[in-house]
Amino acid sequence: MANVKTIERGFCSLCGRALLPNEGYCSLRDDSHICSFCAGKLRVMHPLTLTWDKKGNQAKHDPIEELSLEEAGKDLENAIAYTEELRAKYDHHNAVFMVESVTTEKGGFLKPPVIYACGRVIYGCFDPEDKARLLHKGSASGLTLTGVWRLASYGASRLECQGTGGKPCALEFSGKNLACEAGDLIVKD
């Protein structure tokens, strides 16, 4: 028997793409649905925020779900211009990550410490093995990302994810004499 993809929620109200169960979709305030590709383009303007209670239960706040279809359509038209404004604000780097908190682990015998910078991708995309620079108090240090992880209540989880614009994640890297703290930027040229 052939593998057949079924349409779960119909079609994206913005681009007309089929909403397939394995690709995900986002529901809007007026009960219309948009595909994950359109939601990804809007994510830079409407970043996802994650919080945790004392028991470690995750609560997700998705501002895209508060938009109407008309508002989402207007924002989608302005998404490229908004991203270009951000690029101009951050010196035209290809991707920018804002550090909100830092966790450090020992690297082992004669190995540098492993640093997990938790925060949000402002725009662009980060992947493991990317060459990036850490901007800390006026100085720039080169680094290579060794992992991009989902956030958990304790910092970085061991679940990989893609660090795309507007999404919270943790960037993993290591290096001698690297100082990283909240407010620093990690940029990719």
Domain ranges, residue 30: 25-88
Strand order in the sheet with 114-123: 139-144, 131-136, 185-188, 95-105, 114-123, 168-174, 147-152, 155-160
pTM: 0.81
pLDDT in the model for residue 25: 84
State how far the Cα of 95 lies from the Cα of 99, in Å rounded to an integer: 13
Residues 149 and 125 in one domain: yes
59 inside domain: yes
Residue % of the chain over a pLDDT of 70: 92
pLDDT in the model for residue 54: 78
State how far the Cα of 75 lies from the Cα of 151, in Å rounded to an integer: 27
What does pLDDT average to in each consecutive run of 10 residues of the chain (189 residues)? 57 87 84 89 88 77 91 92 92 93 85 90 91 90 90 68 82 88 93
Residues 140 and 60 in one domain: no
19 inside domain: no
Total count of domains within the chain: 2
Residues 69 and 146 in one domain: no
6 inside domain: no
Residues 39 and 119 in one domain: no
State how far the Cα of 42 lies from the Cα of 58, in Å rounded to an integer: 22
pLDDT in the model for residue 6: 53
The H or E element spanning position 41 is: helix 36-42
Give tens-digit pLDDT for 114-139: 999 999 999 999 999 999 999 998 88
18 inside domain: no
13 inside domain: no
